[in-house]
A and B are shown apart, each in its own frame.
Chain A
């Protein structure tokens, strides 16, 4: 199709502001899908996403409107996937900025809107849910226009739920979003903006063709990683996968690569033709680095091979996931995994448990640290148990946090951020009622329970987003936990010195509650280096017998004994001490749940 008749756009919206509903209406209105065959929300294909109301993997749908070909490119909605969002936006010339007229702009919307503006996209602002009694279309229009430096009258007022105004949205896309402007005759360049793994067909790449064109069975290669493959099938989503013979500059579609490993086809890479390769890659490829780390261990140590296979398979369609084998004296064999952020970690964990039926122990998450060893160079540490005891200096990652909150909750937010070692940035009024706060915070302070705390202290009104903002020196200490004199590596943590005592005390108290009494006294200690900062003792049992045992009791007592023996085998052994798995779970939960 003539590029002049193509419009590529995505939808930027906060969760629950109506992105999926609007996408559904667009599909209905353009008759891409009949009402009958339509599921509630077509674009959210994964079960997990539907439950969480978020979208992990972007997809693209082609629809027709008044002689034009419109490609709707879906974007993930969460901060952990900023990189993926930016790649999706790069595949578009325009974006719908959808704001709930009853809620106003949220922190996430702001972040993604800025991202779209940076990418040079034409923004079409939309005030949604104007049918709600609480809606304030005019106020929202002013807020959005302010943000964009646009005229409030150009903000579309719609109700995706009733369908009112959706046709105007499609018209606005055709009128305002510029057509693609690639060179059809130049060597082929296509941006890989997402990929997925299909167990029968291998890696499927979602691409935006920028220059030139390519066809089915053509030999292709990527410019950044130099991966080569033949295009087994080309096609578009309308919304079902529909094969086409050719994809040309300006078009959006998919390529079935036959590759068996998604890491060989990285998001952001450029596809070109082997026969007539392009010289220069499209801008934007970067290796995303995980910032949050946690150990994943099977609760049943026999399940280690299953966990390894599951991670391998997950990695096939999640290039951002990294992992390496880890051995813990307490938890056995597992993997230290790196994630883009907390949500990414949650999703990986849930998928492992749900799709692969694994029971996992997950250690408290930690961030990446940069450590200068005494008389040594700088190293990056991803595991508290590997944190050197003798250090010259340590740096930890910081984030630039953006929080939008009704003005009456500003005090609560400031208090929370102060507790979390935050540095105030600025405060601005988005409207007479709503305030935008910026803070610089250590990433380590938000990986635990920051978001829950923020929500509960603002009665759910705060919205939050962050961007990584580099490393800074920190006054940090490694706290170790010792049970019966043996260090429990899985419970080591890196913490600011001011919080070290409280955290150590909490861990020790919890372990004392959870470790059953045994045949000897068990010392439980928290220590920084050789200095013990908290101590408790689990007293030895003084008796442990089955009182009587005569002829009629033998079978029952034997079965009890066998059960007890089997229980012992399931216990994790720390030195001579048997620690039930529940103890680790409980302690890991306080690591994740609360803060003194």
Chain B
């Protein structure tokens, strides 16, 4: 391990123990994507890593942290030497996750990531159906997914996560079941399953919006099907869209859901530190020059409490209510309880199984 480890220190500014690093580069921007990405900027990988390390040096004292997450974009699309240079410069962390697209995972990449201290990979499989992958404009084939998975295992990774997307135009309940079965068969420690969100105005929505509208009713129970299939296979439904085995939750993401502080570096990255949230410029050229053009948002206690409720109710563990009562709407809570959607345990608050399927509406009901 080439990274320096220091024994003491708070680690990150403001005491945050969680670091997010954004790598925006992609081979292609998928139609449904809403992240800050950059295509056709391959000559800038080196300069971008320089900029990341500069920001990191400004914001972080070099001390160890609990978790680091490299997200994108497609982090593994970044030129390998640059990616490795970055990884080696990062502080020590108990969990270091990198997002990867299946088609980018070569045996060499898997090995190098492992050598650079990465101990968790989140693989963007999405679906195993070729035509649905095409609808999503993904470059990988089903074979790529399985091969990438095997290569990562071979390199020694024992904590892999698979991303699945459901509600794709053209998907049927049978095909969803097939996707879930193949995912379960691969046996990742962690699965994230998201419903496809057709954001208004995206290329994807323009192309497929009408079809999604037609399928809306049929797709309504997909969420339930996903939860049922994965829990039956022994996965724990520990967060609205996340499942794990053997206690291997996504520790980094868990920090978000528990309302902890985190530092985000990179173009468009968001940090929440103390009572302040900030977002770096989404413009690559500005970021490369070291102009972060940060947008700031002040989070008062009330807002933070509301966020704690909103995020905490996504988890299967009951939300400790100490200090959060004022963020609840007693009438709404009573209604939710009456409908069998929530259980107020006095010290803690939890949603029932049905409450979790309706989590968005229930939270709006419960929150003050």
Query: Using a CB–CB distance below 8 Å, which chain A residues touch chain B?
Result: 518-520, 541-552, 554-555, 557-558, 561-562, 564-565, 568, 576
B303 at the interface (CB under 8 A from A): yes
Chain B residues with Cβ under 8 A from A550's Cβ?
253, 256
Q: Given that A551-B262, A552-B270, A554-B256 are known contacts, is A568 also in contact with B365, CB under 8 Å in the complex?
A: yes
Q: What's the least CB distance linking A575 to chain B, in Å?
A: 11
Chain A residues with Cβ under 8 A from B224's Cβ?
542-543
User: B264-289 CB contact bits vs A (8 Å, 1 = yes)?
Assistant: 10001110100001010000000000
Contact across chains for B20 and A551 when beta carbons are under 8 A apart: yes
Q: Given that A543-B223, A545-B240, A555-B297 are known contacts, is A561 also in contact with B253, CB under 8 Å in the complex?
A: no
Give the docked Cα–Cα distance between A564 and B279 (Å): 24
Chain A residues with Cβ under 8 A from B310's Cβ?
557-558, 561
User: B160-204 CB contact bits vs A (8 Å, 1 = yes)?
Assistant: 000000000000000000000000000000001011010000000
Contact across chains for A565 and B311 when beta carbons are under 8 A apart: no
Chain B residues with Cβ under 8 A from A554's Cβ?
256, 270, 272, 277, 307, 311
Which of B307, B310, B335 has most A Cβ within 10 Å? B310
Closest to A541 in B: B358
Contact across chains for B221 and A542 when beta carbons are under 8 A apart: yes
B90 at the interface (CB under 8 A from A): no
Chain B residues with Cβ under 8 A from A543's Cβ?
220-221, 223-224, 357-358
B314 at the interface (CB under 8 A from A): yes
Chain A residues with Cβ under 8 A from B357's Cβ?
542-545
Give the 5 A-B CB pairs with smallest separation, nearest first.
A544-B361, A564-B364, A543-B223, A552-B270, A547-B194
B83 at the interface (CB under 8 A from A): no
Contact across chains for B256 and A549 when beta carbons are under 8 A apart: yes
Chain B residues with Cβ under 8 A from A562's Cβ?
306
Contact across chains for A548 and B241 when beta carbons are under 8 A apart: yes
Which of A542, A549, A552 has most B Cβ within 10 Å? A552
8 Å CB contact of A551 from B270, B329, B358: B270
User: B22-50 CB contact bits vs A (8 Å, 1 = yes)?
Assistant: 00000000000001000000000000000
Give the docked Cα–Cα distance between A543 and B357 (Å): 5
Contact across chains for B264 and A542 when beta carbons are under 8 A apart: no
Contact across chains for B256 and A520 when beta carbons are under 8 A apart: no
Contact across chains for B341 and A546 when beta carbons are under 8 A apart: no
Give the docked Cα–Cα distance between A561 and B197 (Å): 17
Contact across chains for A548 and B194 when beta carbons are under 8 A apart: yes
B52 at the interface (CB under 8 A from A): no
Chain A residues with Cβ under 8 A from B279's Cβ?
552
Contact across chains for A565 and B339 when beta carbons are under 8 A apart: no
Q: Known contacts A554-B277, A558-B307; can you find 16 more A-B pairs with CB under 8 A?
A: A519-B362, A519-B365, A542-B223, A543-B358, A545-B357, A548-B240, A548-B241, A549-B314, A550-B253, A554-B256, A554-B270, A555-B270, A561-B360, A561-B367, A564-B360, A565-B368
User: B309-337 CB contact bits vs A (8 Å, 1 = yes)?
Assistant: 01100100000000000000100100100
Give the docked Cα–Cα distance between A549 and B224 (Å): 19
Q: What's the least CB distance linking A285 to chain B, in Å?
A: 54
Give the docked Cα–Cα distance between A562 and B221 (Å): 26
Give the docked Cα–Cα distance between A242 and B314 (Å): 76
B359 at the interface (CB under 8 A from A): yes
Contact across chains for A561 and B363 when beta carbons are under 8 A apart: yes
Give the docked Cα–Cα distance between A570 and B257 (Å): 29
Give the docked Cα–Cα distance between A568 and B358 (Å): 15
Q: Given that A542-B224, A558-B306 are known contacts, is A551 also in contact with B363, CB under 8 Å in the complex?
A: no
What are 29 A-B pairs at a CB distance below 8 A?
A: A519-B358, A541-B220, A541-B361, A542-B224, A543-B224, A544-B357, A544-B359, A545-B195, A545-B223, A545-B240, A545-B356, A547-B197, A547-B241, A548-B192, A549-B311, A550-B256, A551-B270, A551-B272, A552-B270, A554-B270, A555-B297, A557-B310, A558-B306, A561-B364, A561-B367, A564-B360, A565-B367, A576-B338, A576-B339
Closest to A566 in B: B364
Q: Number of B interface residues at 8 Å Cβ cutoff, please give it.
A: 48
Query: Using a CB–CB distance below 8 Å, which chain B residues touch chain A?
Result: 20, 35, 192, 194-195, 197, 220-221, 223-224, 240-241, 253, 256-257, 262, 264, 268-270, 272, 277, 279, 297, 303, 306-307, 310-311, 314, 329, 332, 335, 338-339, 341, 356-365, 367-368
Give the docked Cα–Cα distance between A519 and B170 (Å): 28
Q: What's the least CB distance linking A564 to chain B, in Å?
A: 4
8 Å CB contact of B264 from A541, A545, A551: A551
Q: What's the least CB distance linking A261 to chain B, in Å?
A: 42
Chain B residues with Cβ under 8 A from A576's Cβ?
335, 338-339
Chain A residues with Cβ under 8 A from B329's Cβ?
565
Give the docked Cα–Cα distance between A394 and B87 (Å): 86
Give the docked Cα–Cα distance between A568 and B329 (Å): 12
Closest to B341 in A: A519
Closest to B194 in A: A547
Contact across chains for B303 and A558 when beta carbons are under 8 A apart: yes
Give the docked Cα–Cα distance between A97 and B107 (Å): 101
Chain B residues with Cβ under 8 A from A555's Cβ?
270, 277, 297
Chain B residues with Cβ under 8 A from A519's Cβ?
339, 341, 358, 361-362, 365
Q: What's the least CB distance linking A541 to chain B, in Å?
A: 6
Contact across chains for B256 and A546 when beta carbons are under 8 A apart: no
Closest to B332 in A: A568
Give the docked Cα–Cα distance between A106 and B199 (Å): 59
Q: What's the least CB distance linking B307 to chain A, in Å?
A: 5
Give the docked Cα–Cα distance between A436 and B294 (Å): 78
Q: What's the least CB distance linking B106 to chain A, in Å?
A: 27
Q: Given that A547-B241, A550-B256, A554-B307 are known contacts, is A565 also in contact with B341, CB under 8 Å in the complex?
A: no
8 Å CB contact of B339 from A520, A545, A561: A520
Chain A residues with Cβ under 8 A from B339's Cβ?
519-520, 576
Q: What's the least CB distance linking A553 to chain B, in Å?
A: 9
Contact across chains for B220 and A542 when beta carbons are under 8 A apart: yes
Give the docked Cα–Cα distance between A549 and B338 (Å): 27
Chain A residues with Cβ under 8 A from B269's Cβ?
552
Q: What's the least CB distance linking A483 to chain B, in Å?
A: 16
Q: What's the least CB distance linking A516 to chain B, in Å?
A: 10
Give the docked Cα–Cα distance between A191 and B71 (Å): 87
Chain A residues with Cβ under 8 A from B307's Cβ?
554, 558
Chain B residues with Cβ under 8 A from A558's Cβ?
303, 306-307, 310
Contact across chains for A544 and B360 when beta carbons are under 8 A apart: yes
Give the docked Cα–Cα distance between A105 and B319 (Å): 79
Closest to B20 in A: A551
Q: What's the least CB distance linking B274 to chain A, in Å?
A: 15
Contact across chains for A552 and B359 when beta carbons are under 8 A apart: no
Q: What's the least CB distance linking B270 to chain A, in Å?
A: 4
Give the docked Cα–Cα distance between A469 and B359 (Å): 60
Give the docked Cα–Cα distance between A437 and B172 (Å): 64
Q: What's the least CB distance linking A458 to chain B, in Å?
A: 42
Give the docked Cα–Cα distance between A565 and B192 (Å): 28
Chain B residues with Cβ under 8 A from A557's Cβ?
310
Closest to A563 in B: B364
Q: What's the least CB distance linking B82 to chain A, in Å?
A: 23
Give the docked Cα–Cα distance between A564 and B195 (Å): 20
Chain B residues with Cβ under 8 A from A564's Cβ?
360-361, 364
Give the docked Cα–Cα distance between A549 and B262 (Å): 14
Chain A residues with Cβ under 8 A from B358's Cβ?
519, 541, 543-545
Q: What's the least CB distance linking A547 to chain B, in Å?
A: 4
Which of A520, A547, A562, A568 has most B Cβ within 10 Å? A547
Which of B224, B356, B365 has most A Cβ within 10 Å? B365
Contact across chains for B297 and A546 when beta carbons are under 8 A apart: no
Chain A residues with Cβ under 8 A from B314's Cβ?
549
Contact across chains for B268 and A552 when beta carbons are under 8 A apart: yes
Q: What's the least CB distance linking A429 to chain B, in Å?
A: 59
Give the docked Cα–Cα distance between A542 and B264 (Å): 35
Chain A residues with Cβ under 8 A from B368's Cβ?
565
Give the docked Cα–Cα distance between A551 and B270 (Å): 7
Chain A residues with Cβ under 8 A from B367's Cβ?
561, 565
Give the docked Cα–Cα distance between A458 and B273 (Å): 73
Q: What's the least CB distance linking B318 to chain A, in Å?
A: 18
Q: What's the least CB distance linking B244 to chain A, in Å?
A: 15
